Structure 1
Amino acid sequence: MAPSFAEATAVRAVDSHTYTVNLNSEWCVGSVPHGGVVTSVFLRVAATHFRKTLTTQNQPHTVSLHVEFLRRTQEGAATLVVRDVKLGRQTSTVHISLSQEGREEVVGYLTHSNIDTESGISLKTRWILQPAPPPLPADFTMLLAGGEDPNWIEQTDKPFPKFRKVSHRVRTFLPRAGQVMPGVVDQWLRLDSGEKFTNESIGFVSDNFPSVVDSLWIAEQKGKRPPFWYPTVALNLDIKKTLPLDGVEWLFLRVRPKTINNGRMDLEVVILDVAGEVVALSHHVVLVVGTERNMAARRNGQTKI
């Protein structure tokens, strides 16, 4: 049985600045732990660190994150070391590095604040999603029941499910009439376990969506698409609001690239809640490579992407 999301991202404090996690194969793409899971581990380490070691800062919320994936991670134990870079009155920043078997594989900077006590100017920007997505589901309960919503339907034919084992951990609902245009992915997402999304889950959510390559591949009439792996090189998060402490069941994502060129693409990810409010924005640098790169043997102890 696959571990829950909470179990898959659970961290244990070794000392005031060192934490461990066990990356599980059921939350992998091929042989590599899903990048969103790793990102959520970083968020969880930071949340734990500010709650325990840096409790006097009273800055429980990650407001920005930048993570660089230097090498492929693998299932099994990992160690995360935190360095307190800047401790300030309004924001504080920490550096976190993840290592396995002596290899530094992922590094990141996370800035914390207290969103609940923030004050200052607020203005309505009048920003909206363009083109507009299909209307909000009328009844989320009916969606789960395989119901009659005219605009949204559950994705049941997930591509390459044996390779993308992590796709079994979520339920994805897509526009019934198809995406609004090639290269745009709109979806409603929930965890298959029934767990609710918290702020630490946002890293996983920001990196979990159907391939944006598929509709563009079809639009350019390139024939049958080969299996691709999309390793993340860098991932940024800008978290706009706190989710309730007991979490939320549903989140909406819009994902869109601006360029895909020579096997590298950008991704812009917008995450909204059921009220249509922006929860987080994310930007990724992603490679598009053959799946054999994912499964290749690790040579000389290196795990380069």
Structure 2
Amino acid sequence: MAPTFAEATAITALDSHTYSSNLNTEWCVGSVPHGGVVTSVFLRVATTHFRTTLATQNQPHTVSLHLEFLRRTQEGPATLVVRDVKLGRQTSTIHVVLSQDGRDEVVGYLTHSNIDTETGLSLKTPWSLEPPPPPSPANFAELLTGGNDPNWIEQTDKPFPKFRKISQRVRTVLPRKGQVISGLIDEWLRLDSGERFTNESVGLVCDHFPSVLEDLWRKAEGNKPFPPFWYPTVVLNLDIKKVLPPEGVEWLFVRVRTKSVKNGRMDLEVVISDEAGEVVALSNHVALVVGSERNLAARRNDQAKI
């Protein structure tokens, strides 16, 4: 039985600045732990660190995250070492390194604050999603029981399920009539286990969506089959705008869009919002587009660069 999301992203404190995790095969793409799962592990480390070692800062919330994926991770034990970079009155920043078998594989900076006590200028902006997505589901409970919603339907034919094992851990609801334009994905997400999304889960949410390239591929290549590409993350940034309730939320909306796919590299712009339409987080990625064989290839010289 696959571990729950909480189990797959669980961490253990080894000392005041060192934590361990165990990256599980059921939450992988091929042989590589999903980047969103790794991101959530970093968020859990930061949250735990500010709740324990840095408790006197009273800054429980991650407000920004920047990760550099230096090498592909692998299923199994991982160690995360924290360095306190700046401890401030309003925000504090830590540096975290994830390593496996002596290799530094992912490095990041995470900034914390206390969103509940933040003060300062707040203004409404005229921003909205363009083009607009289909109207939100009228009844979320019905989406997973055959669903009669005129605008949304659950994705049941997930591509390459044996390669993208993580896709079986998340329920995905897509526009019934297809995406509004090419190179863009709108979706509603729910964890298959029934667990609720918290701010630490936003790491997974910002990196879990169907390929934004499939429709672009078909327009460029006609009937040529869409290959099982692997999209390793090079850089991931996350800007968290809202604290989700302590009990979490069942559903989150995600829009992801690419502006340029060139020479095997693409950008991804991600907007996450809740059922009320309020922005929860924004994310931007730099990702590669490579053959799936790169994911499964043996490591060379203990470096295993992407």
Deviation at 1:202, TM superposition (A): 0.3
Matched residues in 2 for 1:213 and 1:29: separation?
Answer: 17
- Residue matched to 1:187: 187
Specify the alignment match of 1:233 in structure 2. 234
- 1:108 alignment partner AA: G
Q: Percent identity?
A: 77
Q: Map of 1:1-305 to 2, 5 A cutoff?
A: 1-222=1-222, 223-305=224-306
State the one-letter code of the partner of 1:95: H
- Give the whole-Å Cα distance in 2 for the aligned partners of 1:146 and 1:249: 18
Secondary structure class of the residue paired with 2:208:
coil
Aligned-pair RMSD on alpha carbons? Answer: 0.6
Distance (whole Å) between structure 1 residues aligned to residue 220 and residue 135 of structure 2: 28
Is the Cα–Cα contact under 8 Å of residues 11 and 20 in structure 1 kept in the other structure?
yes
Q: Report the Cα distance in structure 1 between the residues aligned to 2:105 and 2:216, rounded to whole angstroms.
A: 32
Q: Secondary structure at the match of 2:64?
A: strand
Question: Gapped runs of 5+ residues in structure 1?
Answer: none
Question: Aligned partner of 1:75: which letter?
Answer: E
Rounded Cα–Cα distance in structure 1 between residues aligned with 2:302 and 2:146: 47
Structure 2 unaligned spans of 5+:
none
User: CA-to-partner distance for each residue in 1:89-123, whole Å, 9 max, x for gaps?
Assistant: 00000000000010000000000000000011111
Runs of 4+ in 1 over 6 A off after TM superposition: none
Maintained 8 Å contact 1:58/1:114: yes
Question: 1:236 and 1:146 mapped to 2: Cα distance?
Answer: 36
C-alpha separation between the residues in 2 aligned to 1:274 and 1:100?
A: 38
Q: Which residue identity lines up with residue 76 of structure 1 in the other structure? A: G
TM-score by length of 2: 0.99
- Aligned-residue offset at 1:221: 3.4
TM-score, normalized by length of structure 1?
0.99
Corresponding residue pairs, total: 305
Secondary structure in structure 2 of the residue aligned to 1:42: helix
Q: CA deviation at 1:126?
A: 1.3
- Is the contact made by 1:182 and 1:219 (CA closer than 8 Å) also made in structure 2? no
